Structure 1
Amino acid sequence: MSIDIKLSFFLDRDRCLEAALTANSQAAGMEVKYLQTQPPREVYRSTNVNSTQITIPLAQARGINALALIRHNLTVDALVHLYGHSVNDFSNLSAVDFKLENQDLFPPIIGFGEGGFGEGTFGGQPDPEDMPLYSESSWFAFADQELRYWFLKIEDPTNPDGYIQIGRMMLGTGWQPQYGIDWDHSIESVDPSKQERTDGGGMVVDIEPQYRRFALSCSGLTEDERYMRAFNMMQRLGRNQAFFMILFPDPAKNDSIFEAGYVIAVDAAPIARHRREFSKARFVFDELI
């Protein structure tokens, strides 16, 4: 399946792993610590849909510019608020060093008045039944911050499930190739199930869940992107270190998610300089399920 994807974003340095997370609400057996597990088979659940609060104290001040909430059940009406501070005190949210408030989880797919569908039923946010087809993950990017203590608040009072559930949370630094990605990219479904014949001649199927494989090329990497980002991603091959990857359908904007994946790098081609001052890298990512 080849798709015309012009932009990509990678959250590749997850600082959430070092934090001792605490929350104001957590269901039994679904503690907030499960936001740090990989892959996200165990989930965090909060019964406080009006104001779920998670405190994220890092080991030290870190560079942070992105937050990702992966495999969640949040609705289009949910609001996310993220705060950062130099001290571990969030009693007065108006006095913190950084705030990102009232963030929608699902920006409009096609804005009102855009293109031929912007004024019809295809405008705005996805319908609830269609939302999982777009993504069960959300991301928020902002200017670089270097702070140690972080505080996340989520409001989703009309959630029909009666609870807030998140499979994985990533807080760290992300990057977006300045010139997008090349035409050489694909998405495929991988079925790892195995068939084995028994001694009696019968057939046994070891059924495994299917997952997606993403392959893409970045052909306009600057020198900084080549040495500080692409090389770093290649060095994680075989180390079971996850990325959050987002693909966008439109080169003119990056607020509409085409597809998002919680992935590990499984293959990469050597970085080649294909023109003066620019390099090309190719990656293959497998989705963690």
Structure 2
Amino acid sequence: MGVRILYNSDTWDAGTITSSSETGDLVDDNVVNDLVAKPWRATGDAAEWIKFDLGGATDITCIGLFGGNWTSAATITLEGHATDSFGSPTYSQVLTVETDEDSVVMGNIVLFLSEQFRWWRITFADGANPDGYIEVGRIKAGEFYEPARSYSEGWNFIPVDPSEGDEKPGVVAIWRTRAQFRQVAVRFRFMTETQFKKFWTIYRKVGRRVPIILALKPTAEPTLYSIYCTFRGQLPLANQLVDWYQATHLVFEEKVE
């Protein structure tokens, strides 16, 4: 399996959203705002849910949750059903909460699936959460695009620390800590004209402004190697040979706030 890109979540974002609870202006509609730092926050943590009515049966092949505050003990379940009745949903999948090599919980979850429902619900059971509430920054879902020809060997995966400090030799600086993020650089070579046009179509829709989900290893480690990101810079498309094209250097920058 190659790279997967979720760039169009228009139907999901236009759905009617309800939830078990909200806190102040941290309402459930915030999860379809591209700003991760503008979350939905529930009042509790033991039995919370957020629900989406898409207005009609809709194919969902990728969903991503970003900016979550769940713990490793959380049980997060994605459910899909034809009607607004979740006593026994047709689709139910417990989402995997990932941790890093130091057992620190990752606040993102990405899942690939193949389901079609009008109604979707995500439930959260995390009664040991020290915050005392559930919070999620962005929930993005829709149908992913998988290019016929994936990225070339040798992609770059770059963690970035944008913290600011007055560094001097031999002195520990006083830092203004900022959230770390990742950059990914990939190349696509020997693309068909069809793939060339699709990349152009994606860029016309999202430009450098609208975040996408980019999954580098969608079947092996979808959460670790997927980022909620934007194009950093322009889209360098070129004709390589007769009827063959390339995207010479695509850089994507993760959005964590």
Q: Fold-level match, TM-score > 0.5?
A: yes
Asked if the contact 1:178–1:220 (Cα under 8 Å) also holds between the matched residues in 2, the reply is: no
How many residues align structurally? Answer: 242
Paired letter, 2:51: T
1:254 is matched with which residue? 220
Q: Deviations over 1:156-195 (max 9, x none)?
A: 23323322111111121123445542235334538598xx
Partners of 2:224 and 2:180 lie apart in 1 by 20
Name the CA shift for 1:279/1:77 in 2 (closer, same or farther; >3 Å): farther
Name the CA shift for 1:150/1:217 in 2 (closer, same or farther; >3 Å): same
Q: Deviations over 1:109-163 (max 9, x none)?
A: xxxxxxxxxxxxxxxx546x5435xx421111112x3433222222223323322
Asked if the contact 1:67–1:139 (Cα under 8 Å) also holds between the matched residues in 2, the reply is: yes
- Following superposition, the deviation at residue 263 of structure 1 comes to 1.4
- Following superposition, the deviation at residue 212 of structure 1 comes to 4.1
Asked if the contact 1:18–1:59 (Cα under 8 Å) also holds between the matched residues in 2, the reply is: no
Identity %: 18
Q: In terms of mean alpha carbon deviation, does 45-54 or 64-73 score higher?
A: 45-54
After superposition, the CA RMSD in angstroms is 3.4
SS of alignment partner, residue 56 of structure 1: strand
Paired letter, 2:250: F
Partners of 1:91 and 1:214 lie apart in 2 by 39
Q: Quick check: which one's strand share is greater? A: 1
Q: In terms of mean alpha carbon deviation, does 260-269 or 279-288 score higher?
A: 279-288
- Following superposition, the deviation at residue 102 of structure 1 comes to 2.2
Partners of 1:219 and 1:257 lie apart in 2 by 26
Q: Deviations over 1:53-101 (max 9, x none)?
A: 11101244432111110011122332332222333x224324x3xx132
2:108 is matched with which residue? 137
Q: Deviations over 1:241-280 (max 9, x none)?
A: 21022333xx9x523644432212232111546698x753
Q: In terms of mean alpha carbon deviation, does 42-51 or 161-170 score higher?
A: 42-51
Matched, 1:50 2:46: yes
Asked if the contact 1:214–1:285 (Cα under 8 Å) also holds between the matched residues in 2, the reply is: yes
Paired letter, 2:152: D
SS of alignment partner, residue 131 of structure 1: coil
Where does 1:118-129 land on structure 2 (aligned, <5 Å)? 126=100
Where does 1:148-159 land on structure 2 (aligned, <5 Å)? 148-159=118-129
1:269 aligned residue (236, 240, 250):
236
List gaps (5 residues or longer) in structure 1.
1-5, 107-124, 194-206
1:41 aligned residue (17, 37, 40):
37
Partners of 2:95 and 2:58 lie apart in 1 by 22
Partners of 1:275 and 1:152 lie apart in 2 by 48
Partners of 1:220 and 1:67 lie apart in 2 by 29
Paired letter, 2:118: R
List gaps (5 residues or longer) in structure 2.
165-176
1:32 is matched with which residue? 28
Partners of 2:56 and 2:192 lie apart in 1 by 30
Partners of 2:140 and 2:35 lie apart in 1 by 12
1:105 is matched with which residue? 97
- Following superposition, the deviation at residue 17 of structure 1 comes to 1.6
Matched, 1:86 2:57: no
